[in-house]
Amino acid sequence: MDRRWSERRPVEMEVEVFCCGREPSRRVLRARTRDVSFGGMFLLTDEPELPAYREVLLRFPCKGRRGAPDGYCTVRGHAVYRTSEGVAVRFDRIDLEVVRTLRDLLREAARASA
């Protein structure tokens, strides 16, 4: 049974992943999203350094939003499970600018699948 409070949609974009531990290191992993929701995203990666239950910092394009002067959103989360394809990340807390970006991404994905 799926216990999501937000429907996930297929969204592909590149994400930079800073990991792992209480203070994410400067080591950057690159991954692509398979799907996204307001609660998290699934990252396609074969990187073994991204195990479940690790804290991560994600950085992804915000499409020029005014709250993201460099054009990127940043959100902290936790890798909650790992499969052979990649890792699922649950967002810990997201700010309004990230919510707006996710809303736009999810609307575009819904239109594309309709």
What is the model's pLDDT at position 28?
75
Q: Pick the more confident residue, 13 or 49.
A: 13
What is the model's pLDDT at position 76?
92
* Per-residue tokens: 26: 């400067």
pTM of the predicted model, to two decimals?
0.83
* DSSP, residue by residue, 64-106: T-TT-TTSEEEEEEEEEEE-SSEEEEEEEE--HHHHHHHHHHH
What is the model's pLDDT at position 5?
60
Which amino acid is located at 9 in the chain?
Answer: R
pLDDT in tens, 27-78: 678 899 999 999 999 999 877 767 677 888 999 988 655 556 678 889 999 9
- Calpha distance 57→76 (Å, rounded): 4
Class of domain 9-113: mainly beta
